[in-house]
Amino acid sequence: MRTIVITGASAGIGAAIARRLGRDGNRVALAARRAEELQAVANEIGGGAIAVIADVTRRADVERLRDEALRAFGSIDVWINNAGRGISRPVLELSDEDFDEMMTVNVKSALYGMQAVVPYFIERGGGHLINISSFLGRVPIASHRSAYNAAKAALNALTANLRADVASTGVNVSLVMPGLVATEFARNVIGTAAGAAPPWTPGAAMKPQMAEEVADAVAELIERPRAEVYTNPASPEMARRYFESLASP
């Protein structure tokens, strides 16, 4: 049995991860801003779950989440930074507010989580930090996601830097990159949904995954830690072909 903290756990991938890990017998501390939805997920899991209403774009809320998880369960074994938000606006139409929102929700919230829990992991001699990124952070083919792609690329870099920093401490640092996932995520993006095709089109479209498939990949990652995981089987080949296309004359 592990104690696992999951941010952005009121819906979508976060809720699916919470349900899967709770079903596996883990104790889970769930965080999100929407109290009713978050408590419903915790109630579904049962006595091994607590709901912590928190805005993870606020450092104090993230530190309180850590403290409440420790108070409830006595330890933290895994911390999953999952909270995020998208945008549907091309680069030339981005406002300062758009860009700041993407960086705050997708990068700074994860940074706060890393800084809140990793020193604790180092002190106890072990732990697992998991950042949920996106395939678009590695292969930015959906140009209307613009600042979201940029934010996830920044998260990828911070994750790699942290992994190097803690390499000798016994702390695992992992990056998870889902592709297209069938959730309500697209309904909550900033801006109007764009139907334009990406500037680079692979030979075959990436098949959407269910959130439960991503949750299964995260559960497997916790059992067998790795540096990076693409949850969609098509992603590695698509990434390879994308970078080859950039190198072509």
Quick one: which of 117, 34, 41 has its CA closest to 75?
117
Dist CA 77 CA 64 (whole Å):
17
Handedness of CA 161, 166, 168, 173 (dihedral sign): negative
Which residues does 112 contact at the CB level (< 8 Å), separation at least 6?
A: 56, 57, 58, 59, 62, 63
Query: What are the helix (H) ranges across the chain?
Result: 12-23, 35-45, 59-73, 96-103, 109-124, 146-165, 211-223, 235-247
How far is Cα 65 from Cα 53, in angstroms, rounded to an integer?
A: 8
Which residue type occupies 218? V
Active site residues: 148
Instruction: Residue 2: name the closest of 82, 68, 78 by CA.
Output: 78
Q: What is the DSSP letter of 105?
A: I
Confirm if 7 and 80 have CB atoms less than 8 A apart: yes
The CB density around residue 247, as the number of other CB atoms within 10 Å, is 6
